[in-house]
Structure 1
Amino acid sequence: MKAYFTYSCILLVFVLQACQSNRKTETKNGGIVKYKITGKVDFNDGMQVYLQNYDNELQQFQKTTVKDGEFILEGELVSDGIYNLIVKTDYKDKDTGKKSFRITYPVFLENNCDYEFKVQKYRDGNVIQAAEIITNSEASNNLFVFEKEVAKVKQTWDTRREALSNEAAQLKASLMTIGKGEDSKYNYAIDRMREAGKESQELAKKNPREEVSSLFVNKPEHRTSLITPYLFKYITINENNYARYWTVLDSLDASIQQHPLTIAAKAKVERVKNFYEQMPVFPSITPRNIKGDSLDISKFRDSKLLIIALWSSRDRFSKMDIPTLLNKEPQLKNLGVSVIYLSVEKKFEEWETGNKSLGLGLNSYLLNVTDKDFIVNNYNVSSFPTYIWVEPKSLKIKELRGGDPATPDFLSAIKKAL
């Protein structure tokens, strides 16, 4: 009897492990998700429980209420993904002595998984202070870890920004105490205030979700989890990382390769991949300037960046923006950036008149029909002015839609590109 019991226990363990293993390797192709979330809440009969779109709070789904200390929230969704589980009370009668509250719990819902909402701690009689969702969904459990990491990174950045703010305030106060002959001390305080302000601004622009997503998707243990392709929505794909992220997506488990989330993530990376691997380099064209001299694009090889400004005298935005770029050329030159102006005019006289009115001088060239067609068609130029950023030595395209010189962040974008 004892031997039989032992054998039964071992068999049960193997069955449970097999079920978990099968769940991970089960093919997931997307489609309708049937879910069921159960929960037990001791002190809030009548409390509302419902699902909400993770990225859009205005979009809400099925609702239910707590009855006799329990709830069941079930239904169908159009796709796997992250949804917010909202638990909410609204006590309008002040005599109840109970407090209203609303708490959000992100959860990744997928088919064939169990979800149980469990309260860990209450405060003020009925307010849920801590709770967890117990599930066998690998993606959900990964999500819970992800959310904690995001909160941790955000807290680190907030702490750093607070420290920078305090430092800047102290430096500003110290300026009042700096006397004559202490120029170096004064200049240090001013420079450090600027540096602190710049660092604080950069931190404010950063997205902790992108930071954590980048680290998260690169971990080999997440290759079977749908959270990996999902997190690509937060990641910026560029020339420096597309190959690495393509390798990550290509190495995902076969069970999720055909899922819409994986397909969407691959499409996002593939657009950048194709851009840099299939985009033709900028041609070594030889258009002529107003004096009839041919453009020698090789003379710009020592520049750090080459801006090709495509314009038309017929276009009113060209008339507004091109002078702005022209005025910023001294600053661009200091950064190692060169500018070439290429006109797409059909008639020489129109280009000559437009060139003169804008004051472009000898660094402006008129494209012939063949070169114009190549550039417009291969680089999908649909409006003017268009600024193509080129790597001078290789003539590879860095940006098909370079920054607008009339925008405040133009020079910042240039510095970032460098």
Structure 2
Amino acid sequence: MFLAGRFFSGMSAWGFLIATPVFLAELAPPDLRGFYTGLVGVHIGLGYLLAACTGRGFATTAGNLNWRGPLGVYLVFPGIMILITLLSPESPRWLLINGKAEKARNIVFKMHTVKGNDEFAQAEFIEMEKQIAIDRTLETSWLSMFTKPSYRKRTLICGFYCFCGQSTAVLVINNYGPTFYSSLGYGTLETIDFQVGWVSLAAPFCLLGAILLDRVGRRILLLIGIGGCCICLSLEAAASASFTAHPHNLGFSKFGVAALYMFNVCYNLGVDVGGNVFYAEVFPNHIRDKGVAITNAVLALSDLVYLEVTPTAFANIGWRFFLVFICISAVGFVILFFILPETKGIPLEEMGKLFGDEHETNIYYLDNPLQITASGHEGKGIDEGAEEKHSGDIEKGDRALHTE
């Protein structure tokens, strides 16, 4: 019964990881998309913290309460999520794809009107509507994710970054953290306390990452995440090796704990929050769900392999197991440096120009910029004389919107 329950909870958790970033990316305005979609990482971090604190709280209880108690606490939150879902608006892009234009328009105007001025919402909705009309004519099969060059490029970049992110050993450290702290000479309750402290870093540094994404861009934070984790893991390996050789030197054990904590700072600042945003925004509207699903499948398969081999590997080769992750993340960082594009502030409808999809992307070339965006800053919109690039043809003045 316990395994059956775990099956359903795992299935729902992965469904959450796929649906939520897609939903938020499609609901948020372009210049705030990093922040709102990045909140997924913040709340996942809060969930991990709650789980760690609950486990610590019930660690000294006797009998069935030791494991029934945490499960009882966890039951509260799916109920809250159901209520939130019932009160949430639908994705306007999903509504447009399914022929519900008026509902989509109402949501865009309600959520993206700025201080009573709906010019940005008008411009954005027209661009959405035109792009969806193009999307309906495009290939949507799973096979096209690997056979069509522009889709394959997105899939490979996202899948490779996700693989590199998990190859930092983040879930290995998360799941087997107490084992690592124990190998540094700490007792049972100390290892649990260290784990609670380690997990508590996730939410604040994911929040910092979400705030920075729309300011400094995705690319730099994504690279800082992988590179920083690689450096911290190297320091951890050195501390573990030194403590193994000198088990009475507590300085090495403290340094090892500090390295693991800094590792989590780097991971949450870049990989966790930045990855969720990047995966959800680079794929076109009509295949976004498939792209994010494939990326999360890579994540799940990577973790499955790493988590299964960790107990055996650590028991036989100890700290040297970290060298596997150090090598993969170091090589991955170099490759990602050359292939990661910057997606900051680009509307979802115009993302295709980064991947060679100009002929399938509805892009407006403006004579005059729209003076207001979703956050009140200067940005682009649709003006009279706009030119629409669609299937290689330029059509001037088509459904242009006067915004002055």
| TM-score with structure 1 setting the length | 0.20
Larger radius of gyration: 1
* Structure with higher helix content: 2
TM-score after normalising by structure 2? 0.21
